[in-house]
Structures are given as C-alpha cells and as structure tokens.
Amino acid sequence: MFTLLFVVFLVAGVLIRMWLGARQMRHVIRNRDTVPAEFAGRIGAISHERAADYTVARVRLKMWSLLFDSAVLIGLTLLGGLAWINDWVGSFISNDFWHQLALLGAVAGLLGLLGLPFSIYRQFGLEARFGFNRMSFGLFMGDAIKGLVVSVVLGLPLIAAILWLMRSAGTAWWIWAWAVWAGFNLTVMLVYPRFIAPLFNKFSPLDDPALVDRIQALAKRCGFALDGLFVMDGSRRSAHGNAYFTGIGRSKRIVFFDTLLAKLNGDEIEAVLAHELGHFSHKHIFKRIVFSFAMALGVFALLGWVSQQIWFYEALGVAPSLTGGNQGMALLLFFLVAPVFMFFLTPVASWWSRRHEFEADQYAADHADPNHLVSALVKLYDDNAATLTPDPIHSAFYDSHPPATIRIGRLIAAGARLPSADVPLAQPA
C-alpha cells in the first residue's frame, strides 16, 4: 500500500512540476518582446529579452534535473539500489555501527557525484552563456572539495551521534536526536560567519566611511545591533549582486557582495538594508527558526515511528536486517522519500515568505525613502536578469519573493514612484 502511495505522490509531483515549468516557459516566451508598462523606458527591450531567455533556460534545466533525480530515486528505492549498496558495504565492514555510517557516506557520495554534471553545466554552461559566471574550473573544484571537507568535519559527528542515539536511547531516541540536531544548527549559525564562510570567500571591512556612518545610523534608528559591515568578493564567482545578514545574537553582521556595491548608490543601499532590517524587526528570522525546529521535531517523531515498521523498508525496496541494525537505512529511506510528500506544502511556504517580503518592504518604506528602494529593485531585476513577467500560477507556487510588478506596485501605491525614464538611474559614487 505504501509503495503505491509513494509512486502516486512521486508521479503527481513530477507531473505538477513539469506542468508548472511548461506554463512558466510559455508565459515568459509569450511576453518576451513586450516590457511591462510599469518598466517601459527603465528596462530596455534587450535586457527584457535576455531575462526571458535566462528564465526559460533555468526552467528547462530544472525540468531535466527533476526527471534525472526522480529516476535516481526510483533506482535507489523500488529497483533495489540501496539494498545493493547496503550489501556491498556490508561485504567489507562487519561492525554494525560502522556499517551504518559507511552506508550513509556511500550514498551521500554517490548522490554528490551524480549531481556534479548538472552543477558544472549550470555554472559553466547556463550561467556563462548569460554572462554571469566568473568562476574558473579550478575555483569550482576547490569550492567542491572544501565543501566536502566541511560536510565531513561537521556532518560526520552529527550523523554518528544520531545513529548512536537510535541504537542506544530506547524508543524515545528521536527526542534526544532532535535536541542534538537543534543544538548543532544553532552552533553552526553562531560559528558560520567567523569560521566557515571565510573558507570560501574573502571578507573585508566596508571601506567607505560615509556609507558606514549611514548604515550605522539606520541600524541605530531601527534598534539593531551590528557586529560589523563586510564586503565579500562575490565577483570571483558570479556577476549577480546580493547582500545578506548572517549570524544570530550578538554575532549579527551585514555582508555586501562587491558586485552589489558596484551597482547601487548609497541611497539605494540604505533602502535595501532597511528592507532587510524589516525582517528582523518583524522577527521573521526568529519565526522561521522556531517553525523549522518545530517541524523538525515532528519529522524526527515520524522517523522514530516508521523506522520501527517493517512495511516501511519493504515498500521501498529494502529487506530490513533481522540481526543487525537498520538505523542508517531508515535515515536514508526517510530523507530520500520525505521530499516527495513535502513538495505539496511548497505553495504554503512560498505564500508565507512573500507575506514577509511585503512586510519588510513596508518597513523599508517607513524607515528609508521608498523611491530609493524602487530604484534599487529596478536595477537588481535588470542586472540579475530576473523576469518581469512570471506565470502567475508558477509564481504563486514557487516564488519566495513577490513578482516585480506586484512588489513595486505596492510600493507605488504606498507613495513611491518609479524612476523617471527621462533621467538616468543614479550610479554609485
């Protein structure tokens, strides 16, 4: 019965994603030659066409990746791939605990290798074709190796602890495992800005006294304590611009991509940061952390139950061991299969995220000049080749941020105005 349920959800999920992707491509192509009236004169026809082509190429790649990933999932579960890997690992590792750990590592390594061609094409094919890639292949592989090392150093102890708890902590092991997982994630949030992120990028203090004073004044007005303002060498990897907050507690810091500073002037940067501060003022980050931890507790509880059910293994192509442990296999099956069912919650999560974005935009409009936020958004949509004409249903299902016309339309309704098409957009000093 569970096999049928799994297949139905998997097929339904694939069909819905393919349908949504097809809708997105058709809608974007249909509007490729017409810049929305709200942006006419501000975003040129060539830029609009480039954004449409970039969007279609990304959707097409995601659709191929979806089909490939679904085939791999079927191969690992119903066609016996996991069972074969489990037997292979067991042929040279007799200790049950190390067998479970090695099984997890082998499958993780396999999935990483299978996904590598898509990552390489995405970076050096798709992104390069549209002028966004600035990464050498050596840097790409260096990032991949460093990411692998960090994953092993951080993830191996966590997985080992969870496996040990599954074996030793009785039927309530999932409560202790959740507590370990929660503690691990909170720790990573604290140490990531100072110790992990610098392994991949260079971070330098923002060296613009006027802009620093301006940002510090904005943070003070908003009651936000900062641990520092930093510039990241994002241009080594991509032409995309961004900025983000990282850390929790007293370790909060603002990080600018150097590409962003090259595109926005001081007024626009202040408005964008006011938007980000809006997320903290409305406690969006805190709410998301609490929600994710609560969801994780439910997930661990469900895992604790299904891991004891023989039908769970057999329905997914695995014969559970009657003499050794099944902890590693339970983790693999659960976290491979869970996204198939969780996919149908995507539009709810997207709606919640868009609601937060509207609230943060309103906060920015109250604490900075909304005209500067509109100006910044127009620049970022243009420079990042973000489509101005997404399919409404695709957008409602997937997008964590509101579509450009709706987002800017709300700001205009609140009193902002689009930059005049007769006046060039202000550039960084």
Residue 208 carries which side chain, given as an amino acid letter? D
pLDDT at 403: 92
pLDDT tens for residues 74-99?
999 999 999 999 999 989 898 999 99
Active-site residue, from 127, 268, 270, 276 = 276
Indicate if 359 belongs to the active site: no
3-state SS, residue 256: strand
pLDDT tens for residues 182-240?
999 999 988 888 888 888 988 888 888 888 888 888 888 877 777 778 899 888 888 88
Take residue 77 and report the two structure tokens written for it. 């579960």
Between CA 223 and CA 217 the distance in angstroms is 10
Between CA 41 and CA 33 the distance in angstroms is 14
Active-site residue, from 96, 361, 382, 383 = 361
Lowest mean pLDDT among 1-15, 20-34, 196-210: 196-210
pLDDT tens for residues 249-267?
666 778 888 888 888 888 8
**Residue 423 — φ and ψ, nearest 5°?**
-120, 125
pLDDT at 251: 62
Contacts of 61 (CB under 8 A, 6+ apart): 118, 121, 122, 126
Rounded to an integer, the average pLDDT of 386-405 is: 93
Does the pLDDT of residue 427 top 60, yes or no? no
pLDDT at 425: 46
Indicate if 276 belongs to the active site: yes
Q: Are 381 and 338 in contact (CB under 8 A)?
A: no
**Check: CATH 3.90.650.10 for 201-262?**
no
* Strand pairing class (203-205; 229-232): antiparallel
DSSP letters, 75-131, are HHTTTSHHHHHHHHHHTT--SHHHHHHHHHHHHHHHHHHHHHHHHHHIIIIIIHHTT
Q: Are 390 and 403 in contact (CB under 8 A)?
A: yes
Of the pLDDT bands very low, low, confident and very high (cuts 50, 70, 90), residue 418 is: low
pLDDT tens for residues 126-171?
999 999 999 999 999 999 999 999 999 999 999 999 999 999 998 8
pLDDT at 249: 64
Question: 114: number of CA atoms within 13 Å, CB side?
Answer: 17
Q: Which residues are annotated as a binding site?
A: 275, 279, 357
Does the pLDDT of residue 1 top 60, yes or no? yes
pLDDT at 409: 86
Rounded to an integer, the average pLDDT of 266-273 is: 89
Lowest mean pLDDT among 14-28, 105-119, 162-176, 411-425: 411-425
Between CA 131 and CA 137 the distance in angstroms is 16
Give me the chain's average pLDDT, please: 89
Q: Are 263 and 243 in contact (CB under 8 A)?
A: no
Q: Show me where the domains of the chain are located.
A: 1-133+306-423, 201-262
Does the pLDDT of residue 424 top 60, yes or no? no
Rounded to an integer, the average pLDDT of 97-103 is: 93
pLDDT at 419: 65
Q: Are 354 and 377 in contact (CB under 8 A)?
A: no
Count each helix (H run) and each strand (E run) in the chain, helices first: 17, 4
DSSP 134: -
Does the pLDDT of residue 324 top 90, yes or no? no
pLDDT at 37: 81
Q: Are 328 and 100 in contact (CB under 8 A)?
A: yes
Contacts of 275 (CB under 8 A, 6+ apart): 360, 361, 363, 364, 373
pLDDT at 292: 94
User: Percent of the chain at pLDDT above 70?
Assistant: 95
pLDDT at 41: 76
